[in-house]
Structure 1
Amino acid sequence: MQHGISEPDEDNRHRAIQRAVDKAAIAELLQNWVIWRDAGEWDRFATVWHQDGRMSATWFRAGAAEFIEGCRKAFDAGMVGLHSLGAISIDVEGTRAVAQSRMEIVHRGRIDGVEVDVTCLGRFVDALEKRDGRWGLVLRQPVYELDRMVPVRPGATLDLDEALLASFPDGYRHLGYLQTKLGMEVYRNLPGTRGPEMAELRKRMKQWLDGAGADCLDAMLPR
């Protein structure tokens, strides 16, 4: 009778340990994204992306470098947009990963002289890859599920343009309204809780996890 751990069991143990290490590194990366972005630590923020990483959001779709510069300009101009994270789910296949993070965005701005806070709830869905031993973002796609708008000053009233408000999807209706009033161009076909955009996002992320080329993610960048 032979004693000790068999080769297949030893391999499984090493794979389980490596998977746990990878998931811990990815979770730290996702949390760093939030802290460094909102704190304006742009050099550190750049390290969470790969050089060809891309960002898709209500107001932006392009490469990571352009996104960081856009965030920097908004930050320097005094714009307030804060993020927080909740639960995180991570699937790892070798050097590929797909992560989902429960998130909240709070955006402050003025509409017709009234200061408001818009709170948007949803998820970050991320495609990541490990290159030269380092995990980095290849694509970040927010999923917008629910939002609301409230005046900062109690008792203040808002008179919203109902046609403009209704032109945005339910998940980011008020966020899109505020950003449009602040002069941003807002995309209107981003994924929410359900629907064809969400189904397409799931399909593309599965393709990425299964080893498809980065072009499988191109369809997720809004046109």
Structure 2
Amino acid sequence: MSTSLEDRLALRELVENWAVWRDAADWERFATVWHPTEGWMSATWFQGPAAEFIDVSRAGFDSGVSILHFLGGHSAEINGDRAIAQTKMTINQRASIDGVEVDVVCTGRFYDFCGRYDGQWKVVRRQPIYEKDRLDPVDPSARLELDPGLLDRFPTGYRHLGYLQTKAGFTVKTGLPGLTGEAVRRLYDEGAKWLAGSATPGNPSEE
């Protein structure tokens, strides 16, 4: 097996382990997918070091927050000990909005800045790309009226997810990367620079 194929399989396994271990609340193994000192997670409701993301995810899971991840197609660009991995995904969150239980499904890609650390691939930075989403009452007969002002606060790619999370008490960041636009173009540029040897994986705190 060529080294390139081994690397591609290892990167795919890394992404799959992230989703399985996070959703299963296997926090000890979940911590192993991240770079031990530089890991950074960006999401609608959280932007910060991986260790803090693990802590708040654990607290949310224990308090009943229901967020699941499903993965699809995967592609990786590799240059030595660095890689950019893109993986089709959906984020599925269930919660109540104004007393109505709903599911929000957001479709997009995980865009991962990866590095080889002590011979193993790790996630250095994860930035989801939010392409589109939808909201459905769990009970199809339930009636729910959304606040258009709150809904329009968020980009098309995660407007319903942002709405639900805001209603649930999260502070949701606006301006995150979508299918098109300046934010995703900047992300692609940061990815290209990472592969070329940049000192850091972009400026994740500014995303």
Instruction: Judge same fold: TM > 0.5, yes or no.
Output: yes
Offset of 1:43 from its aligned partner?
0.1
Give the 3-state SS of the residue equivalent to 1:50 in structure 2: coil
Whether 1:171 and 2:171 are equivalent positions in the alignment is no
CA contact (8 A) 1:190 1:222 kept: no
Q: Percent identity?
A: 50
CA contact (8 A) 1:58 1:190 kept: yes
Offset of 1:221 from its aligned partner?
2.9
Ranges in structure 1 where 5+ consecutive residues have no aligned partner: 1-15
Matched with 1:217 is 202
CA contact (8 A) 1:123 1:143 kept: yes
Q: Distance in 2 between matches of 1:81 and 1:34?
A: 11
Matched with 2:31 is 46
Deviations 1:62-108 (A, max 9, x none): 00000001110010001110000000000110000000000001100
Matched with 1:64 is 50
Where is the helix percentage greater, Structure 1 or Structure 2? 1
Matched with 1:83 is 69
Picking from 157, 172, 182, the partner of 1:196 is 182
Deviations 1:101-135 (A, max 9, x none): 00001100001100000000000000000021011
Larger Rg: 1
Task: After TM superposition, list the pairs within 5 Å mapping 1:125-204 onto structure 2.
Answer: 125-204=111-190
Matched with 1:33 is 18
Question: What's the TM-score, normalizing by structure 2?
Answer: 0.97
Question: What's the TM-score, normalizing by structure 1?
Answer: 0.90
CA contact (8 A) 1:187 1:222 kept: no
Matched with 1:95 is 81
Q: Distance in 2 between matches of 1:222 and 1:68?
A: 21
CA contact (8 A) 1:130 1:136 kept: yes
Whether 1:114 and 2:110 are equivalent positions in the alignment is no
Q: Distance in 2 between matches of 1:83 and 1:23?
A: 21
Give the 3-state SS of the residue equivalent to 1:62 in structure 2: strand
What is the RMSD of the two structures over their aligned residues, measured on CA atoms?
Answer: 1.0
Q: Distance in 1 between matches of 2:205 and 2:44?
A: 11
Deviations 1:134-167 (A, max 9, x none): 1101000000000000100121011111100011
Offset of 1:222 from its aligned partner?
3.9
